[in-house]
């Protein structure tokens, strides 16, 4: 059906040029707001009415006549009706809709994906401080970042996944002193316990392993403890390596990988932070006041100027962010997406301001909206109708690993992606464990498993793969019923949905689509038996449900969720 739409679109462009030369760019199809009105809609007649100085319905009449005379419309379109002020509603012939089944089966796991486009994108996500286990907010960010990466890969982009480690600053010092306090036998609540210390049980675990002289290794570092309680610097390095490993395990359990871990500390040791500051000074975009160095960020739309270097000589936290994003541009990433919590909203304007000032001075050509941001809210966790607020291990919050252990990786991923990032999300553990249609991930996975059970029975599932080759040449003319056509139209929506979801950084669109596709399949299954006596009808229906299983599989893969063969 995608090829059918391309032929129809070419015919529409030609017809529009015939009515008004140069208007072929207005050739586009939309989905009618009411399904009963047709399969495709055209609004170009209303757009041309004013320049042609004609009534929109007159333009629609002329356009309709031109379309009906074209070979493509004669082959694939049943009717073209004029509605309202000048809409054209198209009803496709069953044969047109049936083409989508062949296209899905031929493309398999690549259905919906585009060829490589030569473009690169860097997606930075999670980027948690190495001061504690990953919490459910990090989990939402991990799910979002990974799914957005997958979406861009389907659109032909080369994707670089990056984790920015804030391994410099006050919080790392607090981690070290917290560990040392535990190593000295202190605990939260004791008079000598530091007020700003981290209170979770994991600090006790770190202290015990440090005193025991253990070694820890993460993806990018390893360290052996000295076992000396007064070795504060050693405790700092050990604690960071320990928590890096813990976070690696969390991410591994969530099936999230990164191409690079970028260390904040490297921005200082390499001199990048200092060079960024010098560049902004040379650009004439800074000034001294009250013993501090300020950035004139109001020149770039910020609501006020921002302190870069405080009176004590230390830099504010957005300065290394500017230096870091300059490295992203220098590494050739003209497209960058940052996934962060909504608490980072205030930093966006000042980071972009710093980049613009540096870009103007160095003539880098960084666009004003660079980088893109996706901000997400935190997650509330409910169990038995009550909010779960803390984890014994973390001390003050529910960890990502807790959530995975209580439910499953698939449930956590699907649930955390099922709403727009900037809307609050309540994770209902009881719902995530329910094996019924109220549980959205169960509902979608069950549709896939239900189809696979039929395909397995018919010998069309081999080593977990759909034997699509055996169905590609099947006569599909029996798929002319309303339930079958509804399901085929839903399949045809998948590529455009993927493209839109990538463009809008909206993996929740994929979850909505999969639920709608599963609903269309369940309705079809309830309306028409698949394994009927008529062999031709049975083979056609098997081809349709096999295509449906393939699209369910592809969509779940974008979300990082499994497509089970049985449940």
How does residue 34 score in pLDDT terms, banded at 50, 70 and 90? confident
User: In terms of Cα–Cα distance, which of 108, 39, 149 is closest to 552?
Assistant: 108
- SS3 label, residue 87: strand
Tokens in use for 544? 């349709």
Contact partners, residue 519, CB within 8 Å, separation at least 6: none
pLDDT at 350: 96
- As a whole-number percent, the residues of the chain with pLDDT over 90 amount to 87
Strands 379-383, 425-428: pairing is parallel
Is 245 in contact with 216 (CB distance < 8 Å)?
yes
Spatial separation of the C-alpha atoms in residues 93 and 120, rounded to whole Å: 40
What's 370's DSSP letter?
P
Output the six-digit token pair for 282.
């040379």
Q: How many CB atoms lie within 10 A of CB 105?
A: 23
Looking up tokens 């082959």, which residue turns up?
Answer: 75
- Per DSSP, the residues of 42-83 read E-HHHHHHHHHTS-HHHHHHHHHHHHHTSHHHHHHEEEEEEE
Say which DSSP state 399 is in.
B
Band (2; pLDDT cuts 50, 70, 90): confident
Q: What is the DSSP letter of 560?
A: T
State the maximum Cα–Cα separation within the chain, in Å, rounded to a whole number: 89
Cα distances (angstroms) measured from residue 313 to each of 220, 263, 270, 316, 351: 30, 21, 18, 10, 20
Q: Is the pLDDT of residue 394 over 90?
A: no
Average pLDDT, the chain: 94
Q: Quick one: pLDDT at residue 392?
A: 58
Going 152 to 126 to 247 to 268, the CA torsion angle's sign is positive
Q: Nearest-CA neighbor of 166 among 179, 177, 175? A: 175
Residue 33 burial by Cβ neighbours in a 10 Å radius (0-12, 13-18, 19+): exposed
d(C-alpha 513, C-alpha 444), whole Å: 10
Q: 444's torsion region: left (phi>0), alpha (psi -120 to 50) or beta? A: alpha
Whether residue 4 contacts residue 102, with contact meaning beta carbons closer than 8 Å, is answered with no
pLDDT digits (tens, 9 = 90+) for 457-501: 999 999 889 998 899 899 999 999 999 999 999 999 999 999 999
Cis peptide before 371 (omega within 30 of 0): yes
User: Which residues lie below 8 Å from residue 123, measured CB to CB, with a gap of 6+?
Assistant: 145, 148, 149, 152, 159, 160, 161, 162, 336, 337, 339
331-351 pLDDT, tens digit per residue, is: 999 999 999 999 889 899 999
pLDDT in tens, 359-388: 999 999 999 999 999 999 999 999 999 999
Q: Which pLDDT band holds residue 200 (cuts at 50, 70, 90)?
A: confident
Q: Give the residues across from 261 on adjacent strands.
A: 163
393 pLDDT higher than 80: no
Give 533's DSSP letter: S
Tens-digit pLDDT profile for residues 92-127: 999 999 999 999 999 999 999 999 999 999 999 999
Residues linked to residue 124 through DSSP beta bridges, in sequence order: 162, 338
pLDDT in tens, 60-80: 999 999 999 999 999 999 999
> In order of start, what are the domains of the chain with their CATH numbers?
2-92 (3.30.1360.70), 176-253 (no CATH), 437-559 (1.10.730.10)
* C-alpha span between 426 and 308 (Å, rounded): 37
The residues near 289 (Cβ < 8 Å, ≥ 6 apart) are none
Q: What is the pLDDT of residue 33?
A: 80
Residues 39 and 90: their CA atoms lie apart, in Å, by 6
Query: Cα-flanking dihedrals φ and ψ of residue 511, to 5°?
Result: -65, -40
Q: Tally DSSP H helices, then E strands, for the chain.
A: 21, 18
Give the torsion sign (CA, 398, 400, 406, 412). Answer: positive
Render 300-336 in DSSP notation, one character per residue. GT-SS-EEEE-TTSPBPTHHHHHHHHHHHHHTT-SEE
- Radius of gyration of the CA atoms of the chain, in A: 29
- Burial zone of 551 (CB within 10 Å; 0-12 exposed, 13-18 middle, 19+ buried): buried
Residue 203 has pLDDT above 90, yes or no: yes
**Local confidence band at 267 (pLDDT 50, 70, 90 cut-offs):** very high
Q: Residue 66, SS3?
A: helix
- Could you tell me where the DSSP H helices lie in 83-183? 94-107, 136-154, 170-183
- Six token digits for residue 66: 């031109």
Give tens-digit pLDDT for 118-155.
999 999 999 998 888 899 999 999 999 999 999 999 99
- Cα–chain center distance at 471: 33
Determine what percent of the chain is predicted with pLDDT higher than 70: 99
């Amino acid at each position: 059906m995608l090829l059918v739409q391309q032929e129809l679109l070419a015919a529409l462009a030609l017809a529009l040029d015939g009515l008004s030369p140069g208007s072929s760019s207005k050739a586009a199809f939309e989905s009618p707001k009411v399904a009963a009105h047709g399969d495709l809609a055209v609004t170009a007649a209303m757009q041309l009415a004013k320049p042609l100085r004609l009534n929109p319905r007159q333009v629609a009449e002329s356009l309709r006549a031109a379309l009906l005379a074209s070979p493509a419309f004669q082959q694939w379109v049943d009717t073209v009706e004029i509605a309202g002020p000048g809409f054209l509603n198209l009803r496709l012939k069953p044969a047109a809709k049936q083409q989508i089944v062949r296209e899905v089966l031929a493309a398999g796991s690549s259905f919906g994906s585009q060829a490589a486009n030569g473009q690169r994108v860097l997606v930075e996500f999670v980027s948690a401080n190495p001061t504690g286990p990953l919490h459910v907010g990090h989990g939402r960010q991990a799910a979002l970042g990974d799914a957005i990466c997958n979406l861009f890969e389907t659109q032909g982009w080369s994707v670089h996944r990056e984790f920015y480690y804030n391994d410099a600053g006050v919080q790392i010092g607090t981690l070290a002193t917290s560990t040392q306090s535990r190593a000295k036998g202190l605990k939260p609540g004791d008079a000598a316990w530091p007020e700003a210390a981290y209170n979770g049980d994991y600090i006790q675990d770190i202290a015990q392993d440090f005193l025991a002289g253990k070694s820890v290794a993460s993806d990018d570092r390893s360290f052996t403890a000295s076992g000396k309680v007064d070795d504060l610097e050693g405790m700092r390095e050990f604690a960071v390596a320990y928590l890096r490993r813990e976070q690696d395990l969390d991410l591994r359990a969530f099936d999230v990988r990164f191409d690079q871990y970028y260390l904040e500390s490297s921005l200082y040791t390499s001199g990048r932070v200092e060079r960024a500051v010098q560049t902004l000074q040379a650009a004439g975009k800074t000034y001294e006041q009250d013993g501090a160095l300020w950035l004139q960020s109001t020149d770039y739309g910020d609501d006020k100027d921002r302190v870069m270097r405080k009176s004590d000589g230390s830099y504010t936290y957005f300065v290394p962010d500017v230096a870091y994003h300059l490295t992203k541009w220098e590494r050739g990433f003209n497209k960058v997406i940052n996934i962060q919590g909504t608490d980072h909203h205030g930093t966006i304007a000042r980071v972009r301001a710093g980049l613009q000032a540096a870009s103007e001075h160095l003539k880098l050509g960084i666009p004003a909206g660079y980088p893109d941001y996706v901000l997400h809210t935190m997650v509330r966790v409910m169990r038995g109708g009550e909010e779960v607020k803390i984890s014994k291990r973390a001390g003050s919050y529910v960890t990502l690993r807790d959530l995975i252990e209580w439910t499953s990786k698939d449930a956590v991923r699907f649930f955390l992606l099922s709403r727009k990032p900037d809307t609050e999300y309540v994770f209902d553990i009881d719902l995530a464990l329910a094996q019924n249609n109220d549980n959205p991930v169960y509902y979608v996975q069950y549709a896939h498993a239900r189809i696979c059970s039929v395909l397995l029975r018919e010998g069309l599932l081999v080593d977990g793969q759909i034997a699509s080759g055996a169905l590609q040449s099947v006569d599909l003319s029996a798929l002319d019923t309303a339930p079958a056509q509804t399901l085929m139209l839903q399949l045809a929506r998948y590529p455009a949905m993927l493209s839109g979801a990538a463009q809008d950084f909206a993996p929740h669109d994929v979850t909505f689509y999969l639920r709608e596709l599963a609903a269309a399949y369940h309705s079809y299954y309830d309306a028409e038996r698949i394994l009927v006596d008529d062999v031709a009808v049975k083979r056609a229906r098997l081809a349709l449900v096999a295509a449906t299983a393939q699209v369910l599989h592809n969509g779940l893969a974008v979300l990082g969720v499994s497509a089970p063969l049985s449940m």
